[in-house]
Amino acid sequence: MLNLRKPGPLVFAAFTAALLVASCAQAPPQPAAPPDTRAADEAAIRALDAEWAKAVAAKDVSTAMKFYADNASVFVPDSPVATGKDAILAAWTALVSTPGFSLAFTPDKVVVSKGGDFAYEIGDFTMTFNDKKGKSQSSKAKYVVVWAKQADGSWKAVVDAPTTSQ
């Protein structure tokens, strides 16, 4: 019979063997890191921008709307923030209805998060419209768009924020 109050060599040997077995056990495998898709995501967003710019140049508001997430917000200069598809549609409809309206934009920089679920772009835009006397007025400025990857893997703009100065 073993005397546990005064452990003998057998108890020490059993304890040492248990520690040795425990230390040799392999740790469970870690899940593989998701693939880095940032370059492909950036290319996808730049392609979406090209389509979006064509729709806006054509004053095709219904096509321009497809680039926004349902809960997106557009910061329209000198107007309240337009949040949601209905408000954004109303803002775009009013904008393209402005006499002499045209808008061109190009991203300078697109940065995708390491996780691949968000991105932002910074770019330049030129907006033209007629003033009260009918004279064409153009302004050049910068913008920021925040993109979010949707459940279906597509990218949608969640924040569209033009500035009013270079």
Domains and CATH numbers, the chain: 38-162 (3.10.450.50)
Q: Region 131-136: what's the mean pLDDT?
A: 92
In which band, very low, low, confident or very high, does the pLDDT at 17 lie, cut at 50, 70 and 90? low
DSSP letter for 88, please: H
- Across 11-20, 43-52, 89-98, 121-130, least confident range: 11-20
Q: Tell if the pTM clears 0.75, that is, is over it.
A: yes
Cα 28 → chain centroid: 33
Report CA-CA distances (Å) from 48 to 23, 138, 145, 147: 53, 25, 12, 11
Please name which of 145, 162, 159 lies closest in space to residue 45, comparing C-alpha atoms. Answer: 145
Residue 6 has pLDDT above 90, yes or no: no
Tokens read off for 165: 């100065």
- Quote the DSSP letter at residue 35: P
Name the residue with tokens 């033009």: 162
Which letter does DSSP use for residue 25 in this model? S
- CB-based burial, 69-93: b 16+ in 10 Å, e otherwise: beebbbbbeeeeebeeeebbbebbe
